[in-house]
Structure 1
Amino acid sequence: MSSSGSVTPKVTFDPAHPPVIEGFSPTSQRFRDESFKDKLKRKIGENPVVPLGCLATAGALSYGLYCFHRGNSQRSQLMMRTRILAQGFTVVAILGGLAVSAMKSPRPH
């Protein structure tokens, strides 16, 4: 059964040559070749507040679970509330970093 309106691609997709999309520039080769450790260092350098928020969140969670295990429910509740504050701080830090990087990036004319 053949249809008269069948769609056939004019050009086949070649993964070695990605399509050109207006307004989009793929990541440079420099970032593709960096190791995990190098990328982590670069990301921490770009926004050092986010790892602090992550550590604060993990610390509050860990200590809260420890207090819960030991039966200190008041301290456990306090640490769970502290964890929520630390998570909020981390989200605000991420959004702030995105805003700063958006303001720094050159805009096309």
Structure 2
Amino acid sequence: MGKPAEETAAKKSDENYTSEFDWIQIRQKMEENIQDETFVGKFKRKFSENPLVPAGAFLTLGVLSYGLWNFRQGKSHMSQVMMRWRIAAQGFTVFALVGGMFVAANSATKQGVFMEPPAVK
């Protein structure tokens, strides 16, 4: 009578042991796909994946620089206007970043990149 319970417990223990070490196989698969990437190569890849984020960052930098230059020249009104535009440019950059994440996640889901977790027996 106690034997089936012991067998069931041993079977569950073996299944848990196996599932606990599945991450090793996942990591090995991930390491096969890792490529050494330079800073310039990574920038080009990221820019091609979501070109609005770097464009928004450069826009923010340009508006900030122009606003600081106006501040230094003593043009306080134009400096204030540029600081307001800087906030708008930062908002655009954040919106582009979040939008790009949703688009990438949606396309990855459609391509089946995300794996289903293993079924528990």
**TM-score, normalised relative to structure 2:** 0.66
Higher relative helix content? 2
Task: Say if 2:73 is the partner of 1:70.
Answer: yes
Q: Deviations over 1:56-78 (max 9, x none)?
A: 10011000000001110100000
Q: Deviations over 1:27-85 (max 9, x none)?
A: 6223xx11111111100000001111001100110000000011101000000000000
Letter in 2 for 1:92: F
- What is the rounded CA distance, in whole Å, between the counterparts of 2:48 and 2:107 in structure 1? 15
**TM-score, normalised relative to structure 1:** 0.73
RMSD: 2.5
- What is the rounded CA distance, in whole Å, between the counterparts of 2:86 and 2:106 in structure 1? 30
Query: 5 Å matches for 1:7-46?
Result: 20=23, 26=30, 28-30=33-35, 33-46=36-49
Q: What residue ranges of structure 2 are gaps of 5+ in the alignment?
A: 1-21, 117-121
> Offset of 1:22 from its aligned partner?
9.6
Q: What residue ranges of structure 1 are gaps of 5+ in the alignment?
A: 1-18
The size of the alignment, in residue pairs, is: 90
Query: Identity over aligned residues, as a percent?
Result: 47
Correspondence for 1:108: 115
- What is the rounded CA distance, in whole Å, between the counterparts of 2:24 and 2:80 in structure 1? 50
> Offset of 1:108 from its aligned partner?
3.0
- What is the rounded CA distance, in whole Å, between the counterparts of 1:52 and 1:36 in structure 2? 17
Runs of 4+ in 1 over 6 A off after TM superposition: 21-25
